Amino acid sequence: MNLHSKATEADTDAFGPPLFSDPSSRALSRVGVIDVGSNSVRMVVFDGAARSPAYFYNEKIMCALGAGLAETGRLNPEGRARAMSAVHRFKAVAEGLGLPPLSTVATAAVRDASDGQDFYDQVADETGLKVRVINGDEEARLSAQGVLLGWPGSYGLVCDIGGASMELAEIADGEVGKRLTSPLGPLKLRDIKGGKKGRQTHIKQVISEMRDAMGPQRNRLFLVGGSWRAIAKIDMVRRGYPLRVLHEYRMTSKSVSATAKFIAAHSLDELRAISGISAARMSLVPYAAEVLKRLVRTFRPHDIAVSSYGIREGLLYEQMPQKLRDRDPLIEACYFTEAKDARMPGFGSRLYQFVRPLFARCPAERRRIVRAACLLHDVSWRAHPDYRAEVCFDAATRANLGGLTHQERIYLGLALLHRYRNKRDGTSLDRLIELLSEEDRQQAEILGKAMRFGAMMWTHDMVAPGSLKWAPRRRHLELRLTADSLPLYGEVAEARLSSLANALGAGLSVVVPKP
């Protein structure tokens, strides 16, 4: 159990105060975006902590605006009527919610169609909304910024697939680099002449040209777009993967190849039945799978991550001041949740300082999860006591949080489970917990039991509830109580401290203040 590996940085208070109450951040606390895509029209309203917003409202209507565009050069008439109806609905919803002016963007279908300007004018005349028709380069940039909202400081290649186009963008050191657009959207691919052979020849040629222009891209491949997410859902089903959270879901080149074969071997109805994907989306999945298989074979990424964040999140990121972009989205979201739901907002940071000696030599990546757990340790107090531990676990593993791998989600959930429950026997969480190493399971239990004990040591005015001293080589845990915390150290607190020491496999001593 590596609770004493070397630290990567000093940790006085690496996260700083929350920024969600700052005026420049409050202005982003509820932002509405309409995205008029080639396949769907969606409205998203972001709310909460601006750096890691919750989806206050999220509705999508499949319109197929770009269907037949390659043949006719015009927007699909039926899709256009549906898109206009969707925009009218979303405008009315936004007015009902009292939102500030909506940001409205349109992508490949509107920019490529000969009647795209006419559609733009119709939206403006009928709704008053000004549509920002973005070119392929800008679409790639915004999608990449959406990825940066969820993964600050990430690096690799972002691939965004829509109905009528596919974009690539390079990201490194928090910046968007080279970017390209292509006509590899599924709506266009199904109109390619020559059947499957002609389509695959076309896909291979276009992606080879994109590789030549982008250069080597062997880092992570980030997948953005509904068709990629649909493929990831099918991959989860094929693998029997237990955590059905698409954001940060990882695939390998081998799994992409296996899933492409799985899709080709089953009918669309069979795939819909096992995945729950809509008929409109599923009709495009086989074409997208052909593109993904060739994309991975050509660029040979180190690993593949699915992103639920894209253009809409990129628009929000674009409005952020740099000081907000630089913050950790996970910690900002946890600060916000604590302020909104905890019984004693602010105690989470005190609790983190209290338990930190147990994790002082852990890597910074792990300490941020420890910090997140402490901020969230009390936000589920309203849940029924018999189910509170499981509610905590579910909330952590399934929450809409950026900056978390699936393993980190489960670690966080398991720690919060042990915050309220000494043992996890009798829960139905084994399949998820098995995604963690035995070492991580032990560390999560230790963190949970440390929070379980520390939560009993609330004192007035948030003064320090004493301190822990951990000597890993001697396997010894020491608690030093203050005069203020001494009355709080009763029988239950003593039992919880003993449980923590047992989880550490440590001896225990308690130092009380002198009279």
CATH hierarchy code of domain 327-460: 1.10.3210.10
Please state, in angstroms and rounded to a whole number, the distance separating the CA atoms of residues 281 and 285.
7
Give the pLDDT of residue 161: 97
Q: Which amino acid, one-letter code, is at 360?
A: A
Q: Where on the phi/psi map is residue 168: left (φ > 0), alpha (ψ -120 to 50), or beta? A: beta
Tokens in use for 426? 């009798």
- Same topology, domains 23-133 and 137-313? Answer is yes
Tell me the C-alpha distance between 317 and 66, whole Å.
27
Domain spanning 137-313: CATH superfamily: Exopolyphosphatase. Domain 2 (3.30.420.150)
C-beta of residue 202 within 8 angstroms of C-beta of residue 214: no
d(CA 136, CA 182): 8
**Cα dihedral 222, 440, 409, 145 in deg (nearest 10):** -30
pLDDT above 90: residue 173: no
CA distances (Å), origin 435, targets 64, 112, 237, 242, 461: 38, 45, 16, 9, 40
Residues 6+ apart with CB under 8 A from 213: 178, 180
Q: CATH for 23-133?
A: 3.30.420.40
- For the cut 70, the answer to whether the pLDDT of residue 96 exceeds it is yes
Task: Give yes or no for residue 15 having a pLDDT over 70.
Answer: no
Query: pLDDT band at 8, cuts 50/70/90?
Result: very low
Cβ pair 304, 251 in contact under 8 A: yes
How does pLDDT run across 290-306, given as a tens digit for each residue?
A: 999 999 999 999 999 99
CA dist list (Å): 4 to 7, 187, 349, 369: 8, 54, 22, 16
CA angle, 283 then 287 then 292, to 5°: 130
Give residue for tokens 């001896």.
Answer: 507
- Specify the pLDDT at position 119: 97
Task: Return the pLDDT at 318.
Answer: 87
Task: Answer whether 0.85 is exceeded by the pTM.
Answer: yes
7 pLDDT higher than 50: no
Question: Which range (45-54, 135-144, 170-179, 340-349) has the least confidence?
Answer: 45-54
Residue 406's nearest CA partner among 275, 161, 237, 236 is 236
Domains of the chain by residue range: 23-133, 137-313, 327-460
Give 228's contacts (C-beta < 8 A, 6+ positions apart). Answer: 159, 161, 288, 292, 306
